[in-house]
Structure formats: C-alpha cells, structure tokens
Amino acid sequence: MHRLFAVIVLLGVAIAISAAAVTWIITTYRSMTWKPEVLRILDIEMYLNETDGSWWLRVVAVNEGEGVAEIYRVEVHGMETIELDSPETIGPGNQREVYFKLSREYTHGTMYTVRLYLKSGTVYPVLERVIRP
C-alpha cells in the first residue's frame, strides 16, 4: 500500500514538473521571438513653416515590430511636452511620416533632444537634431 502511494506521489510530481517545464519553454520562446513594436526612426526634422510662422516637428519612422506603435506624447527636452488627443499610429511593417505642431520658439543652430512616448511604455529618447537655418 505504501509503495502504491509513493508511485502516485512521484507520478504527480513528475507531471507537475513536466507541465511547468513546457510552460517555461513556450513562454521563453515567445518572449524571444515577439517584437511588440520596434520603431526605426529614418528622419527627424524641426523646421519653421514660413507661411504661418509656426514650428513643426517631422518624424519619419518605420515599425519593424508585430504590434501597432501608438505615439501619445512628444517631448522636446527642456522646452515643451505635447500630449496628443488621439495617438499617432504606425502599423506593423509600415512607414509613416508624422507631423507635430510645436508651440514654442526654437533657435537655428541649436541641438534639441526629442522623445517619443509610446502607449506600450517604450520611450525613444536619443533623437538629437540640430535645427538648420
């Protein structure tokens, strides 16, 4: 009777360990192969629109990930933060040119750091550009 009880306990432990190992392997594989959204910034430019005298930020990016990239906030470090009413989206595998109207005055020849905040929690912080006259 004790031997049967020991076999049942060992069999239960073996099944539990196997289930945990399979779950761990599947989770690890999925986390290594899944790319939520990976933006590759192709170009970024701050420029003065001569017709209305306003400053604009132009970002050209391609989404190389598997999820939709949703930009909900843009920050020009030390100058201004723009909270978007509706996020700018870039679909998986798509390239898009996005424009943001800036509210402050900027100086030609100055370097600014632009940060893009995505709803997934990703922040793209190293987008330094010098404004050319």
Residues 4-20: tens digit of each pLDDT: 888 888 888 889 898 88
Q: Determine if the pTM surpasses 0.75.
A: no
pLDDT along the chain (133 residues), means of 10: 82 88 80 75 89 91 91 93 94 94 88 91 75 65
Closest by Cα among 79, 56, 84, 72 to 120: 72
- Give how far Cα 89 sits from Cα of 18, 38, 49, Å: 41, 13, 24
